[in-house]
Amino acid sequence: MKFIVSSSYLLKQLQVLGSVINSNNTLPILDNFLFELNNNELTVSASDLETTMSATLAIDSKSKGSVAVPAKLLLEILKTFPEQPLTFTVEENSTIEISSNSGKYALAYAPGEEFPKSVNLDEPSVTLVPADVLATAISKTIFAAGNDDLRPVMSGVFFQFSPEGLIFVATDAHKLVKYARTDVKASQVAEFIMPKKPLNILKSILNTSDAEVKIEYNDSNATFSFDNYILLCRLIDGKYPNYEAVIPKENPNKLMMDRSQFLSSVRRVAIFSNKTTHQIRLKVAGAELNISAEDIDYSNKAEERLTCDYQGDDMQIGFNSRFLTEMLNNLQSDMIMLEMSLPNRAGILTPIDGLEEGETVTMLVMPVMLNS
């Protein structure tokens, strides 16, 4: 088994795949990349059993075979090469030899048969989504997903596909984000919960792609195929909470203001808030918004006034400044609207401008009780 490949081309592909590999694997074989050679086509795979990703590379070869190569060692050596062709030769003595312009390097390999086989999806449902839409949907929602091992369904992003459009939801019970598109549709209704790790990997590579992503899914697994990549992952098992039930429908108090100005104020005032609750107080009356925070233990306090466009009754409401900052950071619009009903009901944050046709973003943040 022998093939020739460009060093920088191989490194670029392996760095993407390397993000799948865990730092502490229970199975030693998972510390390797699987190289499967079929004449001029090399398929490289990496897996942590939950997520498997493979890339298909065009190379120069006339042989077939498969070997598992130590990932860390291979990435380290590839990073040091300037752009040049590298020749990989699998020797009989269980080593794979890499020949460069300046030298030869031998690594021990394991037989390819030892690498876990990836799952084939039987009669999956298929939906096509443009790469930029999927990348935006992931980055708009993933930050709101929880980290609670006791509630695994909340630690992922909920995908809801239908002929009306696509909806992506994430929540950790304190904040919730719903990202919807009506300009991209699925042929049939489907729902599944995607874990965070594969979504983060997708997010990092979809930004540079303009392909259509083919999403295939059944009850337990989903695959994402685009360009020369295929990512397969196990879905989170369980029923997603009814998120529609927690979004308040009647919100008579509407506050409109400049996003970056509001974000800067919240950030500044939050420095003076209590370090455990991160509580800030919003007090709205007429066209004035008063943002304040106090840390009684240290006699620290801050207060800022902003002009805003407000329709509704005078009110005071408390929020965790970290959640508010995260959400405002994640919006790209110039103007935002905060809709509220009562001080103990969730506030709804939506962008007023900067959205594409058919795109909606709804963010919900739970209030914190104010100590009067």
**68 contacts 55 by C-beta, under 8 angstroms:** no
The DSSP letter of residue 82 is P
Task: For residue 266, give the amino acid letter.
Answer: V
Alpha carbons 259 and 331: distance in angstroms, whole number: 8
Structure tokens at 194: 């995607």
The alpha-carbon radius of gyration of the chain (Å, integer) is 25
Tell which CATH classification among 3.10.150.10, 2.30.130.10, 3.40.50.300, 3.20.20.70 matches the domain 125-244: 3.10.150.10
So what's the pLDDT on residue 372? 59
What pairs with residue 212 in β-bridges?
A: 130
So what's the pLDDT on residue 208? 86
Alpha carbons 242 and 84: distance in angstroms, whole number: 55
**348 contacts 307 by C-beta, under 8 angstroms:** no
**326 contacts 135 by C-beta, under 8 angstroms:** no
Structure tokens at 95: 């080593």
Indicate the pairing of strand 125-130 with strand 212-217: antiparallel
What is the residue whose two structure tokens read 């929880």? 146
Domain boundaries, the chain: 2-114, 125-244, 248-368
- Of the chain, the end-to-end C-alpha distance in Å amounts to 75
So what's the pLDDT on residue 27? 93
**141 contacts 170 by C-beta, under 8 angstroms:** yes
Alpha carbons 117 and 2: distance in angstroms, whole number: 23
The reply to whether the predicted model has a pTM over 0.75 is yes
Query: Residue 166: which of 195, 196, 141 has the closest Cα?
Result: 141
Q: What CATH class does 2-114 carry?
A: alpha beta
So what's the pLDDT on residue 226? 96
Q: How many CA atoms lie within 13 A of 301 on its CB side?
A: 8
Distance of CA 274 to the CA centre of its chain: 30
Strand order, beta sheet including 165-171: 190-195, 156-162, 165-171, 175-181, 359-365, 347-351, 335-340, 253-258, 309-311
What is the residue whose two structure tokens read 């876990």? 116
Is the domain spanning 248-368 CATH 3.40.50.1820? The answer is no
What pairs with residue 337 in β-bridges?
A: 256, 350
Q: What does residue 266 show for φ and ψ, rounded to 5 degrees? A: -60, -45
Tell me, yes or no, if the two domains 2-114 and 125-244 fold the same way.
Answer: yes
Query: Residue 125: which of 201, 223, 199, 194 has the closest Cα?
Result: 223
Q: How many CB atoms lie within 10 A of CB 45?
A: 24
So what's the pLDDT on residue 370? 82
Q: How many CA atoms lie within 13 A of 249 on its CB side?
A: 2
The DSSP letter of residue 350 is E
Strand order, beta sheet including 60-61: 60-61, 2-6, 85-90, 95-99, 104-108
Query: One digit per residue, pLDDT tens: the chain, 372 residues?
Result: 999 999 999 999 999 999 999 999 989 999 999 999 999 999 999 999 999 999 999 999 999 999 999 999 999 999 999 999 999 999 988 999 999 999 999 999 999 999 999 899 988 999 999 999 999 999 999 999 999 888 999 999 999 999 999 999 999 999 999 999 999 999 999 999 999 999 999 999 998 888 999 999 999 999 999 999 999 999 999 999 999 999 999 999 999 999 999 999 999 999 999 999 999 999 999 999 999 999 999 999 999 999 999 999 999 999 999 999 999 999 999 999 999 999 999 999 999 999 999 999 999 999 998 875
**315 contacts 341 by C-beta, under 8 angstroms:** no
Q: What does residue 320 show for φ and ψ, rounded to 5 degrees? A: -80, 120
